[in-house]
Amino acid sequence: MAAGSLTSRADDFPRWYQEVVAGAEMAENGPVRGTMVIRPWGYAIWERVQAALDARIKATGAENAYFPLFIPESFLHREAEHVEGFSPELAVVTHGGGKALEEPVVVRPTSETVVNSFFAKWIQSHRDLPLLINQWANVVRWELRPRLFLRTTEFLWQEGHTAHASEAEARAYSLRIMRDVYVATMVDVMAIPVLVGRKTERERFAGAIRTWTAEAMMGDGKALQMGTSHELGQNFARAFDISYSGPDGTQELPWQTSWGVSSRLIGALIMVHGDDFGLRLPPALAPQEVVVMAVRDDEGVARAAGAIADDLRAAGVRVRLDDRVETGFGRRSIDWELKGVPVRVEVGPRDLLEGQVTVVARHTRQKTQVALAEVVPRTTALLARVGPELEAEAAALLAGRTRRVERVEEAIEAGMEGFARVPWRLLGPEGEARLAGETLSVRCLEGPDGGLLADDGDESAVAVVGRSY
Amino acid sequence: MAAGSLTSRADDFPRWYQEVVAGAEMAENGPVRGTMVIRPWGYAIWERVQAALDARIKATGAENAYFPLFIPESFLHREAEHVEGFSPELAVVTHGGGKALEEPVVVRPTSETVVNSFFAKWIQSHRDLPLLINQWANVVRWELRPRLFLRTTEFLWQEGHTAHASEAEARAYSLRIMRDVYVATMVDVMAIPVLVGRKTERERFAGAIRTWTAEAMMGDGKALQMGTSHELGQNFARAFDISYSGPDGTQELPWQTSWGVSSRLIGALIMVHGDDFGLRLPPALAPQEVVVMAVRDDEGVARAAGAIADDLRAAGVRVRLDDRVETGFGRRSIDWELKGVPVRVEVGPRDLLEGQVTVVARHTRQKTQVALAEVVPRTTALLARVGPELEAEAAALLAGRTRRVERVEEAIEAGMEGFARVPWRLLGPEGEARLAGETLSVRCLEGPDGGLLADDGDESAVAVVGRSY
């Protein structure tokens, strides 16, 4: 079992996924069905994703806030499509402080309703716009077929909620979030290429007039919805009585957006970059970029390993020194591979005699003998290559498993293996309904050349069809 | 109404507090009783408190993780004192996904039970110790008399959970958290002096063998429990079957700790540093350290204000440029005072003619004319003084309202006005019970000279008595 006893991805992708999540000590099932414990290795990666997103969200002018976990059940009923979309998934608190509650409260599945009940108070004048709010929070959607990170009853996410003076401004902001926050983080930080497009009416968010989505292809050819940004029109403004006096004194309704990404991004990271030996992390997200391993219990080895770790740290690299020589070197190497640390520096007595160490790139598994004086520059140069190379590999998979087709039957066939690109005018809502019967769906509508659709005229739109998580 | 129409602290402290929370746009009541919306100004302060704590927690070796919001009701019952302590405050979910649940789940009031159910799996060998875990999360305790930040049904906090090989190590770690994380943040970052001591048996955490606490005096002389660190002994290890094989192969139970501080710290910040004009923020916690105000609509003013803001930013200061000249200068000044921004730089046409601006220190309300070339050094020098001066002021209040007494009656009298320090051997559990009838309590037991009690022999202990939030 060369692959550290993992099931191979090709043999059983879902089982491989579970084994990586467990083996890399990223997460476990919680005691209540569908809930999840995120262990330190998984959480440290999430913290880095969070930090990347948070800085970009703030750069758009949004401010963080926090709204309550508990929402009166009646709030959900105010927006008709919204309640229809979320009712089947709600967790309901009926007792508090030892008594039955007069009105049951729901545990937030998303916060549009409670946020907008406050926007109604905070938005009075055109000077109060745009109002740009984000929150980091846990949300709950009762999940019958849970899978760690991908679909859990409770998950962690950020949800943005904004109000603008015009539809054009709301759309521009919702696209800015998609492009400058989500796509920038997914591509530049997570090294995951994504398709960006509009959801069809069938697939869009309950209560939105337009939903923009970023979709990525996982290692098994299936799609994962990575994040969405919704134009809500004036639906919630009407439902929650949000209005403001314009510059000329007239009462106006604001145009709104909401947008979110969640801890499922960690699932994407595993399923896009993982291989038969475990996780492969882009350095930007790795809790440790380099692990310096003392191969065995030896004074010279300990000294050299410590010195290399210090030198790398001084060069600004996040380093872990692994001197647990009482545990076998093979066992430790397999564990670090599983955890996806981008670079291992193996310090052994034989190499040291020749004034060198072994540098191992996790993503290629290539080993190189490197002279002691060269360890820092060679390691930092290698680290700089990992992200782009992982991204190129994922982009090649995406391109290789995407087919342009012209007929619904072909779309079904191609969508089973990867993504099918089919003109929307040849598919349409009826074709879309047929896909559903085959466990396929339209992941998004793109422009004819893969760019964003300029408007709602869908004549030229191309539907991206695939199976999805 | 010189004080921006706030109630004065001396007249009605609770009302003043509410008005500051609302006027500084820090928080509002949520729609479900006892819940809270933390608005951007309040949340940005909390983010800075969080960052200060998080860095110090990680420096002790603890790692962040995340455990589920929902806990099976049966878990709570495993530790007898713990369930007794928390049962009256629980929120219970009885329905999920449209169905009644087979076993109701509680919304976590704290996570000892679920964390320890996982520690039982993760701790097998002495090599797995110490296990040092922290989580940032929301928790719920049904609250009948809620008050924003101080006592809310849902609040934000961090909770640490650790397991150690010996009682001495557990105690050392629990005290290290108190000293190097909590007290360091409270004093050095929040500028709030605290007393550190042990809780009496009556006041300690449900399930702990020792609870260490940091207590501060608010502006009205009442005490606020700022944070606690508990030694849990082997109580939870027994309740959750946590054991490990020692170096010599014997099965051992670990010794545990748990510790937490919450968003109530924001309430303390207001009640310690606030004055009749609103909040006063130590620069380390201020979302904006300086606001540069254009006094009126004037081209020269706009240019000078912009240049000053740029210069301050270049010097590493967090600056907001307030050029909303369509709103009256007086209104804006009152708002920035309410929000507690440490320094205002007022740029007006008359001052500019003389080559100067007006620099206002929020904490003293002192105004100084400063030459343009001196604005950056004078402002940064002023910022450096704010934290220490706020802390000195709070320390003077604490000293001035603390009395050493020898009898229970005196303790009751002094405790009504501030803190009474009374020898524990003269008070004892019976005296403590009498205090409760007078809405007083023993906030902590200190050593005779105000230091930490060395051991559990309480002969020399001094009880600090006060009213509390």
Which positions ≥6 away from A189 have C-beta within 8 Å? A48, A49, A52, A282, A284, A285
A156 → closest Cβ in B66, B98, B114: B66
CA B196 to chain A, closest CA, distance in angstroms equals: 30
Residue A455 is predicted with a pLDDT of 73
Question: Given this model, what pLDDT does residue A4 score?
Answer: 58
| Residue B161, beta-bridge partner list | B133, B258
Cα–Cα distance, A429 to A412 (Å, whole number): 15
CB-CB neighbors (< 8 A) of B26 in chain A? none
Residue ranges in chain B whose pLDDT is less than 50: 1-3
CB within 8 Å: A93 and B107: yes
Neighboring chain A residues of B87 at a CB cutoff of 8 Å: 98
CA distance A102 to A94: 8
Residue B88: list chain A partners with CB under 8 A: 97-98
Task: Write the DSSP string, B181-218.
Answer: IIIHIIIIIT----EEEEPPTTTS-TT-SEEEEEEEE-
Say which of B31, B70, B143 has its CB closest to residue A35. B70
- The structure's pTM equals 0.96
CB A466 within 8 A of CB A420: yes
Tens of pLDDT, residue by residue over B370-412, are 999 999 999 999 999 999 999 999 999 999 999 999 999 999 9
CB neighbourhood size of A5 (10 A): 10
Report whether B447 contacts B462 (CB < 8 A): yes
Q: In this structure, what token pair is assigned to residue B272? A: 């310690």
- The answer to whether residues B335 and B313 touch, using CB atoms and an 8 Å cutoff, is no
Output the pLDDT for position B453.
Answer: 83
Residues B74/B87, Cβ–Cβ less than 8 Å? no
Q: CB–CB of B69 and A140 under 8 A?
A: yes
Q: Do B65 and A91 touch (CB under 8 A)?
A: no
CA distance A111 to chain B (A): 12
CA distance A206 to chain B (A): 17
| pLDDT for B1 | 37
Are the beta carbons of B95 and A94 separated by less than 8 Å?
Answer: yes
In the block, residue with structure tokens 């200060």 = B52
Beta bridge partners of B151: B147
Of B65, B117, B142, the CB nearest to A38: B65
Beta-carbon contacts below 8 Å between A and B: 162
Query: Residue B422 and residue B446: Cα distance in Å, rounded?
Result: 10
Flag if B90 and A70 touch (Cβ within 8 Å).
Answer: no
Phi/psi of residue A15, nearest 5 degrees: -70, -40
| H or E stretch at B132 | strand B131-140
Query: What stretch of H or E contains B405?
Result: none
**B90 vs A98: CB contact, 8 Å cut-off?**
yes
Neighbours of B165 (CB within 10 A): 17
Nearest to A65 among B39, B66, B104 (CB): B39
If we measure between CA atoms, which residue out of A409, A469, A463 comes closest to residue A439? A469
Question: pLDDT (tens digit, 0 to 9) for every residue of chain A, 469 residues total?
Answer: 344 589 999 999 999 999 999 999 999 999 999 999 999 999 999 999 999 999 999 999 999 999 999 999 999 888 888 788 888 899 999 999 989 999 999 999 999 999 999 999 999 999 999 999 999 999 999 998 999 999 999 999 999 999 999 999 999 999 999 999 999 999 999 999 999 999 999 999 888 999 999 999 999 999 999 999 999 999 999 999 999 999 999 999 999 999 999 999 999 999 999 999 999 999 999 999 999 999 999 999 999 999 999 999 999 999 999 999 999 999 999 999 999 999 999 999 999 999 999 999 999 999 999 999 999 999 999 999 999 999 999 999 999 999 999 999 999 999 999 999 999 999 999 999 999 989 999 999 999 888 888 777 778 999 999 999 9
Helices (H), B249-295: 264-273
List Cβ neighbours of B11 (8 Å cut-off, separation of 6 or more).
Answer: none
Question: Contact A140/B69 with Cβ under 8 angstroms?
Answer: yes
Task: Provide the pairing of β-strand B131-140 with B154-164.
Answer: antiparallel
Could you tell me where the DSSP H helices lie in A401-464? Answer: 408-417, 424-437
User: Is A30's CB within 8 Å of B138's CB?
Assistant: no
Is-contact A162 A181, C-beta < 8 A? no
Q: Measure the CA–CA gap between B357 and B366, rounded to whole angstroms.
A: 14
Q: How far is Cα B373 from Cα A368, in angstroms, rounded to an integer?
A: 57
A30/B95 touch (CB, cutoff 8 Å), yes or no: no
B89 interaction partners in chain A (CB closer than 8 Å): 97
How close does chain B come to A139, measured CA to CA in Å?
Answer: 9
